[in-house]
Every structure is written in C-alpha cells, then in structure tokens.
Amino acid sequence: MRCFDRNRLLKCWFFLRVPPLQQQQQRQLLQAVGAASCRRASFIRSICTASATGRRQKSLSFPFKSRPLSIPLQRRLSGHIAREKMENVQVSGQLLDGKIVAGEIQNEIARKAALLKDATGVVPCLAIVQVGDKSDSNVYIRMKVKAAGDVGIAARHVKLPADITEDQLLDEVESLNRDSTVHGIIVQLPLECTQKIDASKVTDTILPTKDVDGLHTINAGHVARGEFDKCTLPCTPNGCLELIKRSGHKVAGSRAVVIGRSKIVGGPMAEMLMWNNATVTICHSRTANLPQVVGEADILVVAIGRANFVEPEWIKPGAVVIDCGINVVPDDKLKSGRRIVGDVDFAGARKVASWITPVPGGVGPMTVAMLLRNTLDCATKFAKFL
C-alpha cells in the first residue's frame, strides 16, 4: 500500500466502480494507477474487492457506492481521506471510444450480411447521392464506401454535377427508389449546387423504406411519437444513444440536456432520450442561463458546431458527455496547420465528466456504423418479401 499515493488509489477505486467498456477499462486502470505491469493492477484490485479472512467487515464511506473493506485497510485509508475533502479529488473521465464500439457493431453487421446473402442471395446495397464536389463530402463518402465494403455491403456512389436542377435530382432519386437492387439511399448533405434546391424535398422523395438516414418526414414522425419499431432511426442520434447505454449510465430517470435543435441531430436526439424515459431539456442560441441549465444534466449531448463552446465549469461532476461537434481550428504545432475539435472543451471536461466522447473518434464512427446497420435492416425487410 505504501508504494501508491492516495490520489492514485482513489482513482483506481473509481474506475473499478464504473461499468466496463471491455478492454478500455483495463487501459484506464493502468493509466490511473501508473502501474508498469498487470501484476500491480491485479494487486490493487484484490485490495479493493477482497476481504481479510476471519476479520469483521465494515463499510467505508465514499461519495460513490463502495464495497465492504477490511478494517486494516479502512484504517490505512481513513487517515488520508479525513485530511482531504473528497470533492477536491479530480478523477479523469473514461473515454467512450466510438471506434471500439463501432467496430463491434460492424463485426455483427458483417456476420448478419453474410447470413442474409447465403440464405436469400440478397446483397445489401447502399446508394450515396452527391451533388457537386465538396472536399469534406468526398472524404465522408470515401469513409462510408470503405466501411460498407468491409462488412459486405455494396456501395453505389452517384455523383452529380453542381449545376443540376431540382427536378433532375428528384428524377435520380426516383430512379434509385425503383431499383430493387438498392436497399438504402442517402443524400450527402450539404448540397453543393448552383441551382436552388430544397434539401428537405429531396430527402422526402426517398422511399421511407429506403431512407437509411432517417430524415424522411414519415420516419421523423414515428421518432417523435416514440414508434421506433415502425421507422428507421436517424444515424447520429441513434449512435449517441448507443454510446450512452454502453457507458452503463441509466437513461431512465436521468436529466438530459441537448444543446442544438437541428432536424438531423438535436431534435431527434431529444425525442429519443425522452422516449427512453429521460427528462429532457433542449437548449439553443436563445436559451437563458445556459451554464446553469447544463449544470443540471446527468447526460449532456452537444451538437451546435462551435469549437470548444461548452466550458468545463458548466458540467455537472460525473455527467456523461456526448460531443457531436466537428470543428476545424488553426494549430501551428501540426504540419497541416489545423486540427479537429468538438463543441466541448475536451481537456477540461474530462476532469469533470464520468464518461466523455473524444473528437475525432467518438460520435463519427458510430454514425457510420448506424448507417450500415440501417442498410442491413432495410435489406433484410426487403428479402422477406421475395
């Protein structure tokens, strides 16, 4: 016991009480304790969970639920804890690594896609409609095409010129609707066009049964009414909800705050949390006393597109923080001269939150995984009618 200072031991205690995220918990444990080997980590775990044989047990009071400790260990710890208030002990939040979770989901998608092909001959197919040649869109589309190929889903990239008219674009979408080999359709947004095109009209032209982005008005209506089994769920909100559940945090009964009210993320995110029995507050640019509102959140989802907007001081200690933002800021230290950050001040927020998503590598991979899952689901439903 003497070889570990009290802060390290308290951090170790915290990590053992938080639900695991598979191998990531072990990495966090080793980092917190500062151990150079698994043997030391196992030693600490055994101290915190085991009881001394043949000795009377007694619980030690911690600010979080604890397991009984043996009396000798209580005596060693209590002297340190009494001299330092527990609320002053900072514990780094664990990462909700979207890459790890998305990888697990995609492995399951690949398995099911192979079974579907063997049983019915149907190969799930995703059509991606792009207007113009926006560089960011090109990057995202390449990622989606590659991810689809990795799980056995065919991807069809329909690239259209920037000067296309609205009627011509709608005709292209209608053509994909009629194509029985295409099971999912998305329109890459924003549209890079020289003509005036109503993006909502375009997404509503996609058949609801092929709308794998979950943006069609009919699908949005089902989400608003909590009829999740009758629709395709929007990818980013569904990915966020999956991450929250993977953290082990109970959604039902929690206070959730969603910053942002877009039709793609903020709005449906709030609805999905509400129908999972959270008490939800939606915030936006005109919300008064925003820091105070954020400070009440057990679950905080931020999707406003403003770099490092949410300050660590706003966040409730122990909250789960989901950062959907993707912002590019200058950084002279990097060769590219820029870096990607989220809507939350990550370095500071991690010292307060219990779980937090990184940017990049948090919500982004989950959005792609949910898109592929939706495509597989649509293909499976189609195969049932063959």
Shared domain check, 360 and 239: yes
CATH (domain of 357): 3.40.50.720
Q: Assess whether 292 and 353 both reside in one domain.
A: yes
Same domain, 258 and 146: no
- Per-chain mean pLDDT for the chain: 84
Residue 27: pLDDT band with limits 50, 70, 90:
low
What's the CA gap between 148 and 369, in Å, rounded? Answer: 9
Q: DSSP 3-state helix, strand, coil percentages of the chain (rounded to 5)?
A: 45, 15, 40
332 within domain boundaries: yes
Residue 66 within a domain: no
Same domain, 336 and 244: yes
Judgement on whether residues 254 and 311 belong to the same structural domain of the protein: yes
Q: Answer whether residue 36 is part of any domain.
A: no
Q: Is residue 253 part of a domain?
A: yes
Residues 240 and 335 in one domain: yes
Model confidence at 309, pLDDT cuts 50, 70, 90, reads very high
Cβ proximity of 271 and 41 under 8 Å: no
In a shared domain, residues 200 and 270: no
Tokens representing 12?
């170790």
294-to-266, 273, 298, 299 alpha-carbon distances in Å: 15, 16, 9, 9
Global pTM value? 0.77
Which structural domain, as residue segments, surrounds residue 183? Answer: 121-210
Q: What is the pLDDT of residue 177?
A: 98
Sign of CA dihedral 250, 253, 255, 261: positive
* 190 preceded by a cis bond (ω within 30 of 0): yes
- How many angstroms separate the CA atoms of 169 and 201, rounded? 10
* CB distance 167 to 198 below 8 Å: no
For 259, the enclosing helix (H) or strand (E) is strand 255-259
Structural tokens at position 332: 């002279």
Does 381 map to a domain?
no
How many domains does one find in the chain? Answer: 2
Give the tens place of pLDDT for each residue, 325-336. 999 999 999 988
Residues 238 and 283 in one domain: yes
pLDDT of 7 over the 90 cut:
no
Is residue 65 within 8 A of residue 329, CB to CB? The reply is no
Count Cβ atoms within 10 A of the Cβ of residue 9 and give its class: 0-12 exposed, 13-18 middle, 19 or more buried. Answer: buried
Q: CATH number for the domain including 175?
A: 3.40.50.10860
pLDDT tens digit sequence for 200-258? 999 999 999 999 999 999 999 999 999 999 999 999 999 999 999 999 999 999 999 99
% pLDDT > 70, the chain:
76
As a dihedral over the C-alpha atoms of residue 152, residue 158, residue 162, residue 163, rounded to 10 degrees, the angle is -170
Same domain, 356 and 238: yes
64 is a domain residue = no
Provide mean pLDDT across the span 121-125: 98
Residues ≥6 apart with Cβ < 8 Å to 254 = 278, 279, 298, 299
Report residue 165 as tokens: 């008219």
- Are both 349 and 275 inside the same structural domain? yes
- On whether both 153 and 255 belong to a single domain, the answer is no
Q: What is the mean pLDDT of residues 182-187?
A: 98
pLDDT tens digits along 327-366: 999 999 998 899 999 999 999 999 999 999 999 999 999 9
| Residue 171, phi then psi, degrees to nearest 5 | -65, -40
Query: Could you give the CA distance from residue 312 to residue 352 in angstroms, rounded to a whole number?
Result: 7
Which residues are annotated as catalytic?
A: 144, 188, 213
